[in-house]
Amino acid sequence: METKTFDTTEKKEKIILIAVSTSDGDDTVQSLDELEELGQTAGAETVAKIIQNREKAHPGTYIGKGKIEEAKRLIQNTKADTVVCDDELSPAQYHNLEEALEVKVIDRTVMILDIFAKRASTSEGKLQVELAQLRYRASHLIGGRSELSRLGGGIGTRGPGEQKLEIDRRLIKERITQVRKELEHVKHVRELTRKKRQENPVPVIAIVGYTNAGKSTLLNKLTGADVLSEDKLFATLDPVTRKLEFETGGKMLFTDTVGFIRKLPHHLIQAFRGTLEEAKYADVILHVADCSNPDMDAQMYTVYDTLEKLGINNKKIVTAFNKTDVADDDVQLKDLKADKTVKISAKYGIGLDTLVNALDETLKEGKKMLEKVFSYSEAFKINELYKVGQIIEENYRGDGIYIKAEIPSEYMYMFE
């Protein structure tokens, strides 16, 4: 009897990337290269790229007739399954472009959402992704109808809440309401955790940076954490907090946040606002920049622009220029927004002592040492001290409670 064999390897989706360049000095080429990396992370193979120079994207089809004909020929020659546009498409652009090209059409936002759907591992992360997907679909329901009704796999067809592809606006709104309620509960739990942390204050360092800058590698090296670290965009999605303890008894908490990227979808910024707000309550922002990347300056701009959109301003910033082991020697390393800058290689542990010292110095700036004996009738003030400062020594004496604490200068008047 003849034995049949079946090929179980997953077929790579073939994609064609399309972008519109609206000015001579824009970063369309770099953005399209990054979109190719996103495609690789999503498990697809880029078979062609198209860039059209226009004053603005075509309102009906994103690209003009000539480029549509070029795309059709490329689809036929390469047997591409999907066309990916570098900008977020309107419902009309989706509908018209799919009809003209007769293949699946998605945009950068759908690609990123797909990667997030694959990477999310915690219940909160999955809820955040689902909320972003639902919001996107609510605003693209007309344009995405053919996509939603198409059976099969591929980018943009997986993730939480996608078992039923034919969804109407009413069901989406109901699910958005339910997901928001669940996330509010998660937010409440996080706030309780934050308040508990403030009762025994340990400095919190929020690690931010462009995706693939080496944030997770740095967290692993500093704290001995076991966070997934890969040379891929969005290798880690869910925030992780780990503790660093010194031989002197000092401590720091490091919180790794989701990596930023060009054209980070508005829906994702909104959905992950609660998670990213960890940076808002941090004592210091640790900005990790990949100095081996020729596009570093643009990436740093994206990070600061995203922080501003999240309302994270007036924070002390230490920038760690990472990957110095592979960077060009003549590269200029400057960050005018940072209070301190340090050169490191997280992979090889180079410069980490200098980085920790820079963080420690930054934490101490703007703080004063308080040494005082509080009478027992003033014991309530010690509770306030725990909320705003760090208690170094606390002794109960006959004449009162001796306290040695480090507190921000602006709170000093409360205890003098």
Low-confidence ranges of the chain (pLDDT < 70): 1-10, 24-25, 141-154, 156-168, 194-201, 227-239, 247-249, 274-275, 277
- pTM, two decimals, is 0.77
**CA distances to 87, 136, 200, 391, 406 from 196, in Å:** 43, 36, 7, 15, 19
**For residue 404, is it within any domain?**
yes
Beta strand 340-343 with 316-322 is parallel
Give yes or no: residues 93 and 215 share one domain.
no
Give yes or no: residues 28 and 42 share one domain.
yes
Question: What CA–CA distance (Å, rounded) separates 87 from 263?
Answer: 8
Give yes or no: residues 220 and 358 share one domain.
yes
The edge-to-edge listing of strands for the beta sheet with 104-107 is 44-53, 13-21, 82-85, 104-107
HSE of 58, CA atoms in CB hemisphere, 13 A? 19
Could you tell me which of 100, 51, 95 has the C-alpha nearest to residue 73?
100
pLDDT of residue 164: 47
Give yes or no: residues 378 and 356 share one domain.
no
Give yes or no: residues 285 and 391 share one domain.
no
Question: What CA–CA distance (Å, rounded) separates 155 from 323?
Answer: 31
How many structural domains does the chain have?
3
Question: What CA–CA distance (Å, rounded) separates 279 from 60?
Answer: 40
Range of the domain at 397: 367-414
Could you identify the residue written with the tokens 């170094």? 392
Tokens at residue 156, please? 């943009």
Give yes or no: residues 267 and 156 share one domain.
no
Give yes or no: residues 383 and 235 share one domain.
no
Question: What CA–CA distance (Å, rounded) separates 19 from 152?
Answer: 26
**Which CATH number do you get for residue 21?**
3.40.50.11060
**For residue 5, is it within any domain?**
no
Give yes or no: residues 96 and 135 share one domain.
yes
Domain boundary among 364, 381, 405: 364
pLDDT of residue 165: 46
**For residue 2, is it within any domain?**
no
pLDDT of residue 243: 85
pLDDT of residue 93: 95
Residue 101 and residue 72 in contact, taking contact as beta carbons nearer than 8 Å:
yes
pLDDT of residue 368: 82
